[in-house]
């Protein structure tokens, strides 16, 4: 089996490359830029991945990558994925996160691989937006209303619908995973969970004295990225293309994540170490996200192995190991 992953340098790209390689796949990864700073990291950590140059905003590069890799499965993970950044760069976000999906689908179609290449589209709980919370206590599922609250969420909704349109129009196997927040040791430091666990480790080791954050009250449904990429693969093995929600079914505030991370290093009162920075507030906020993964559990047999406390623990431990102060040897 051959797989092409766009977004190979990202959190999910790394977990997925590892999983597919372990399953015996020949793995190809799309990498952008003439000198991508993360190329050497990918080459060092995943030497079995064949890197192909390309950018989801450049249709020709995608056709070339698809033709070179002839994938049985294409996982489209590439995106501008930071919600705050998308408010500052809305046009670029539309091009990459929205229209980039169309470019990927077209590349598969014009390369005449539409009948043989299965496509996974990385859709997101940000499409729900948290406002029209129409299933109190039960969480959003595949039938819930969409009401995105950011340029990122709007761009992803275009990607979601164009993916479904290609499924219906061209009889292509295009599956959309509507994934709620998933985190882990590979999470980018610009996302709140990793920003917190990194700061907690550095504060514990005396390398910084506080962390600046935005809103602490929003609630998210957090899971472990390793469990979620396994769900992506399961969706691609299913007999038919479809939409599936992956979520933990639990929701917690940023403040609860913060308290849990500090607790891991024995700090009960975190308030002296946290300051609010108004520059980190977003023009519109997603108040609460809670997902209902019942369909993925029943149809795919998807299960998550890491719970909330396990997630926080492994992220804090990882960052503690990275920030160990070297002991001087006499």
11 near ligand NAP, rule: CB under 6 A: yes
Give the Cα separation of 189 and 245 in Å (integer).
Answer: 25
126 catalytic? Reply is: yes
Closer residue to ligand F7E in complex, CB, 52/261: 261
Active site residue 152: yes
Q: Choose between 30 and 261: whose C-beta lies nearer to ligand NAP.
A: 30
* Closest approach of ligand NAP to the CB of residue 97, in Å: 7
Using CB under 6 A as the binding rule, the residues of this chain from 184 to 223 that contact ligand NAP are: 188
Selected from 20, 49, 79, 296, the binder of ligand NAP by CB under 6 A is 79
With a CB cutoff of 8 Å and minimum separation 6, the contacts of 200 are 261, 262, 264, 265, 267, 316, 319
Which stretches of the chain bind ligand F7E, using CB under 6 A?
81, 83-84, 124-126, 180-181, 190-193, 195, 213-215, 218, 220, 254, 280, 282, 285
Decide if residue 227 touches ligand NAP (CB under 6 A): no
* Helix and strand counts by DSSP (H, E) for the chain: 12, 13
CB of 15 to ligand NAP, least distance (A): 8
Q: 56 touches which of ligand NAP, ligand F7E, none (CB within 5 to 8 A by kind)?
A: ligand NAP
10 makes contact with ligand NAP (CB under 6 A): yes
CA angle 268, 270, 275 (to 5 degrees): 175
Find the shortest distance in angstroms from Cβ 113 to ligand F7E. 27
Q: Which of 126, 133, 158, 224 is catalytic?
A: 126
Distance CA 4, CA 23 (A): 14
**Beta strand ranges found along 103-242 (DSSP E):** 118-124, 174-179, 182-183, 211-213, 219-220, 223-224
The answer to whether residue 124 is catalytic is: yes
3-state secondary structure of 30: strand
Please give the backbone phi and psi of residue 263, each rounded to the nearest 5 degrees, phi first. Answer: -60, -35
Name which position in 3, 4, 49, 56 contacts ligand NAP (CB under 6 A).
56
Decide if residue 7 touches ligand NAP (CB under 6 A). Answer: yes
| 100 CB-contact burial (10 Å; exposed 0-12 / middle 13-18 / buried 19+) | buried
- Residues known to be catalytic: 124, 126, 152
């Amino acid at each position: 089996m051959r797989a092409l992953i766009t977004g190979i340098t990202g959190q999910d790209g790394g977990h997925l490359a590892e999983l597919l390689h372990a399953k015996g796949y020949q793995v190809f990864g799309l990498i952008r830029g003439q000198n991508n700073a993360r190329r050497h990291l990918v080459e060092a950590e995943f030497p079995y991945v064949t890197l192909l140059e390309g950018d989801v905003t450049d249709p020709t590069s995608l056709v070339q990558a698809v033709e070179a890799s002839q994938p049985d499965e294409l996982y489209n993970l590439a995106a501008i994925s930071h919600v705050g950044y998308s408010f500052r760069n809305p046009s670029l976000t539309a091009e990459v996160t929205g229209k980039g999906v169309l470019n990927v689908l077209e590349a598969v179609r014009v390369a005449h691989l539409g009948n043989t290449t299965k496509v996974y589209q990385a859709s997101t709980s940000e499409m729900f937006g948290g406002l029209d919370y129409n299933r109190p206590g039960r969480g959003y599922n595949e039938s819930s209303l969409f009401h995105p609250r950011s340029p990122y969420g709007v761009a992803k909704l275009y990607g979601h619908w164009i993916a479904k349109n290609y499924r219906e129009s061209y009889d292509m196997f295009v599956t959309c995973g509507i994934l709620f927040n998933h985190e882990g040791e590979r999470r980018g430091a610009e996302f709140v969970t990793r920003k917190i666990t990194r700061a907690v480790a550095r504060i514990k080791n005396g390398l910084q004295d506080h962390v600046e954050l935005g809103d602490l009250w929003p609630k998210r449904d957090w899971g472990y990225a390793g469990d979620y990429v396994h769900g992506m693969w399961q969706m691609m093995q299913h007999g038919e293309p479809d939409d599936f929600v992956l979520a933990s079914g639990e929701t917690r505030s940023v403040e609860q994540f913060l308290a849990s991370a500090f607790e891991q290093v024995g700090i009960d009162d975190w308030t002296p170490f946290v300051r609010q920075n108004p520059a980190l507030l977003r023009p519109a906020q997603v108040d609460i996200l809670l997902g209902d993964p019942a369909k993925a559990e029943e149809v795919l047999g998807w299960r998550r192995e890491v719970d909330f406390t396990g997630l926080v623990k492994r992220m804090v431990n990882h960052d503690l190991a990275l920030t160990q102060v070297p002991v001087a040897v006499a």
